[in-house]
Structure 1
Amino acid sequence: MIEITIRLKPSCAHRFAALLRTTALTEPDRGQARAYRGAARRIERTPGLRRPAPTKRPAPVKAPAAPRPHRYTPRAQRPHHRGIDERAVQRVVLGLRPLPVLSRAEARLACWHLTQHEAPASEIAERIHVAKRTVHRWRAEDRKAVTTR
């Protein structure tokens, strides 16, 4: 066993203890790392040393997460035909099962008809496969179009 005596200024003692702790983290030999931590602890407990202001430990550095791919999946795969299928709209308005999947224009028309029948937004959204918020937005746009005429 080797003993070493080091003389430090009181203002540098805590900095040296921090260096010993850092060295203990990188030391491959567990016994030597333990000895470094013990020496740092004895230095910090030495009477008469000024204690530095408490500092926060730095947060562990995390590797940045890989970006997730952005995938948009619509609520319903809507048909892309031109025109409006009146029968499909009427089936949705009357609630005849199985409900057909409507194109965007047909869904908007069905929303208008169901609003005229005073159906709640949640029921309309369920029938035409859109979000409840979309129903509210369509209703607001229809009201705005009527008031600006």
Structure 2
Amino acid sequence: MIEITIRLKPGRALHFAALLRAIADLEGDRGQAKHYRGGARQIERHTRTRRPRPQRPAQRPQRPASRTDSVRPFRYTPRVQRPHHPGIDESAVQRVLLGLRPLPILSRAEARLACWHLTGDGCSAPEIARRLSVAQRTINRWRAEDRQAATS
């Protein structure tokens, strides 16, 4: 997963959103094009001008507006596109267990199996989450479900 933070002025942000839409039209992968359009939609939503509210008399003095007040941070992280094949690719799971780079993207079933093996090897939840490209909370949930299944 790649996470990018970009600071743009509102006028430039709309231009960037238009560029994302143009890239989406040229993109061959439908899923990636969908992510580009989603990013463009989020940028446009964050840069919309709001109607000014009627000014009420100020009870305390207002601080002077700084340049950074007008710029809102925007963060876009695309979801991981996981494979949807029915079986488990043992070689991909082994690559993740051994930490061989580049780490493959695993299906949910493969990621859960790898989590089980890495937990048995004594790896921490943050390390497993980083290797499998899932949230640490997901690792904790899978571990709790495995413990519950073992006690039943």
User: Under a length normalisation based on structure 1, what TM-score does the superposition of the two structures give?
Assistant: 0.50
Asked if 1:147 is matched to 2:151, the reply is yes
Shift of 1:94: 0.7
Q: Number of aligned residue pairs: give it.
A: 81
Shift of 1:119: 0.1
1:87 matched residue in structure 2: 91
Structure having the higher Rg: 1
Within 5 A, what are the aligned runs for 1:1-149? 73-74=78-79, 76-148=80-152
Deviations 1:34-75 (A, max 9, x none): xxxxxxxxxxxxxxxxxxxxxx97xxxxxxxxxxxxx9953x
**Per chain length, whose mean CA-contact separation is higher, i.e. which structure has more relative contact order (CA < 8 Å, sep 6+)?**
2
1:46 matched residue in structure 2: none
Shift of 1:82: 1.0
Partner Cα separation in structure 1 for residue 81 and residue 127 of structure 2: 19
Q: Percent identity?
A: 67
Change in Cα spacing, 1:139 to 1:80, as seen in structure 2 (3 Å) is: same
User: Under a length normalisation based on structure 2, what TM-score does the superposition of the two structures give?
Assistant: 0.49
Alpha-carbon RMSD: 2.2
